[in-house]
Amino acid sequence: MFEVFLKEVKELLRDRKTLFFVIALPIVIFPILFALLGFLASKTTFEAEQKVHIYYLANASLSPDFEQMLFYHKSFRPYKGNEKFETIEALKSAVKAGKIDVGIEIPATYDSQVAGKHQQISWHVVFNDAQSINFVYKRLEKLINKFSAQIRSTRLEALGAPQKEHPAILKPITITKVDTADKRENYGEKLGALIPYMLIPLVLMGASYPAIDLGAGEKERGTLETLLLTPVTRTQLVLGKFLTILASSISCALVTVSSMAIWVAIAGGIGVLDTIIDAFSSVTFTDFLLIFALLLPVAVMLSSLVLAISIYARTFKEAQNYMGPLSMLVFVPIVVSVMPNMSLNTTTAWIPITNVSLAIKEIIKGTVDHSAVGLIFVASALLAGALLMFCIRWFSKESVLFR
């Protein structure tokens, strides 16, 4: 078995494509990709924050005070064209045509409503909310609320309420938020769910490429028959191939995590991620070991599956076609783990992959239940063992080997 393992490892190390996907891609490409995405996201957000929106205020003469507030706001500038957009439909058409970014319609009855003192006034804000980052409505809402506060204050004074009593009248009860969660728990809840999205697919990727070559690749090259003629049992042969795939799978995850840790440390050294690094500083080496230990049975499961698929496939291309649906099936339980009200308990601890995803999030948060982790190890080990046994029996069938 170990002779087969060493032989397959040597061949694996000679394969530049596999080395690229298992080592080079995690070390260089993924960190650069994440950094690029972060840069583009921050750049897009910054541009959206700095954007000056073109507005049109319908019936502006009815509220000259608000018109002045809007005119002198740094994030808005008035429409300079000659067209008039005095109705909601006209404002909609102007926004759709790109002539303005936002339109505000002050109702024609605004004067009489204000004079009525006790009537509620309805303004319409017309804009396109389909853009991914759009601050126009929040900015206008804040400005209108400020203007509304002025009207409210005037009405309260007219009713005989002194200005110093307005806050107590408008908001008799204030709420002070007292959060029992520390930084690690808060960031762990938000970011901890993303860690399985990175680690588990990498475990699968690290297993897929060598598995395709060690199964379907051997068939296509005609070297599988030569291996079967050697004085090695089929069980030893499949276990040797399995250990090679497992080593590649774990190496891919380890290289990626190490690479990301180095890049995060570099970013932290220049003060880019100080807040997050400070929050995760309490994640101990033991926690990382526990995450790695949880990934081991997952790696065994996935390595057994991809090897069984590769052995079944006739050609390298056919094996690649089978790996696509498997990747989607792996993502489903990870998605389940981030659904609302999903938590690690005695029930979810038995759901494959979902249990590991939930446990990793709880470890990052620092709230992991170690008894539930024990159940995960039992459930994962049983399934991993069953899949490995299936793979061995699968490899023993002539109808599978010589399709």
Instruction: Judge whether residue 8 has pLDDT over 80.
Output: no
Task: Specify if 230 maps to a domain.
Answer: yes
Residues 329 and 373 in one domain: yes
The reported pLDDT for the residue numbered 2 is: 56
The reply to whether 140 and 245 lie within a common domain is no
Count of positions (residues) in the chain: 403
pLDDT at 54: 93
CB-hemisphere CA count at 13 Å for 302? Answer: 33
- Angstrom distances, CA of residue 60 to CA of 63, 81, 94, 114, 290: 6, 15, 17, 15, 64
Residues contacting residue 305 through CB under 8 Å, at least 6 positions apart = 326, 387, 391
Q: Report the candidate in 76, 307, 134, 305 with the shortest Cα–Cα distance to residue 212.
A: 307
Q: Give yes or no: residues 294 and 382 share one domain.
A: yes
Which whole number is the average pLDDT over 42-54? 82
**Residue 49 confidence (pLDDT) above 90:** no
Are 140 and 252 found together in one domain? no
**What integer is the mean pLDDT of 247-273?**
69
Over residues 55-111, the pLDDT tens digits come to: 999 999 888 999 999 999 999 999 999 999 989 999 999 999 999 999 999 988 777
Of 217, 209, 210, 207, residue with least CA distance to 314: 217
pLDDT of 298 over the 80 cut: yes
pLDDT tens digits along 311-355 = 888 888 888 888 888 888 888 988 888 887 788 888 888 999 999
The whole-number pLDDT of residue 16 equals 67
Of 156-160, 186-190, 284-288, 394-398, the poorest mean pLDDT is in: 186-190
In a domain, 111, yes or no: yes
- Look at residue 354 in the predicted model and tell me its pLDDT: 92
Which of 34-38, 271-275, 364-368 is the most confident on average? 364-368
The whole domain housing 56 covers 52-170
312 within domain boundaries: yes
Strands 76-78 and 124-127, bridge-based pairing: unpaired
Compute the average pLDDT of residues 273-292.
71
Query: How many C-beta atoms lie closer than 10 Å to residue 289's C-beta?
Result: 10
Kindly state the average pLDDT of the residues 367-375: 87
* Backbone torsion region of residue 160, taken as left when φ is above 0, otherwise alpha when ψ lies between -120 and 50, otherwise beta: left
CA 146/CA 183 separation, integer angstroms:
33
CA angle 280, 285, 290 (to 5 degrees): 100
User: Which of 120, 140, 170 marks a domain boundary?
Assistant: 170
More confident residue, 376 or 285: 376
Q: Are residues 223 and 330 in the same domain?
A: yes
Say if 260 falls within a structural domain.
yes
Same domain flag for 243 and 391: yes
Residue 384 belongs to a domain: yes
How many structural domains are present in the chain?
A: 2
Q: Assess whether pLDDT exceeds 70 at residue 133.
A: no
Are residue 232 and residue 359 in the same domain, yes or no?
yes
Q: Which amino acid is at 340?
A: P
Flag whether 224 is in a domain: yes
| CATH number of the domain where residue 131 is located | 3.40.1710
Confidence band for 127, pLDDT divided at 50, 70 and 90:
very high
End of a domain among 123, 143, 170? 170
* Cα-trace Rg, the chain: 31
pLDDT at res. 124? 92
- Higher local confidence (pLDDT), 370 or 115: 370
What predicted TM-score, i.e. pTM, was given to this entire model? 0.69
Give me the percent of the chain exceeding a pLDDT of 90.
16
User: What does the CA dihedral 12, 15, 18, 20 come to, rounded to 10 degrees?
Assistant: 130
C-alpha to C-alpha distances, 97 to 53, 58, 80, 81, 93, nearest whole angstrom: 15, 17, 15, 13, 6
Please indicate, yes or no, whether residues 316 and 286 belong to a single structural domain of this protein: yes
Report the distance separating Cα 208 and Cα 201, nearest Å. Answer: 10
Clarify whether residues 363 and 293 are in a common domain. yes
Residue 19: both structure tokens together: 């080395």
Residue 401 near residue 224 (C-beta atoms within 8 A): yes
Percent of the chain with pLDDT over 70: 82
Q: Which range among 52-66, 158-172, 196-210, 288-302 has the greatest average pLDDT?
A: 52-66
Better-predicted residue by pLDDT, 282 or 167: 167
Backbone angles phi, psi at 77, to 5 degrees: -140, 145
Q: What pLDDT, on the 0 to 100 scale, is given for residue 132? A: 54
* pLDDT of 368 higher than 80: yes
Average pLDDT over residues 158-186: 83
Whether residue 42 lies inside any domain: the answer is no
> Same domain, yes or no, for 121 and 253?
no
Q: Could you tell me the two tokens for 61? A: 């003469």
Determine phi and psi for 57, rounding to 5 degrees.
Answer: -105, 105
Check pLDDT > 70 for residue 11.
no
> Average model confidence (pLDDT) for the chain?
81
Phi-psi region of 53 (alpha: psi -120 to 50; beta: other; left: phi over 0): beta
Q: Is residue 41 part of a domain?
A: no
239 and 215 together in one domain: yes
170, 192, 210 - which closes a domain: 170
Q: Are residues 146 and 214 in the same domain?
A: no
CA distance 134 to 340: 26
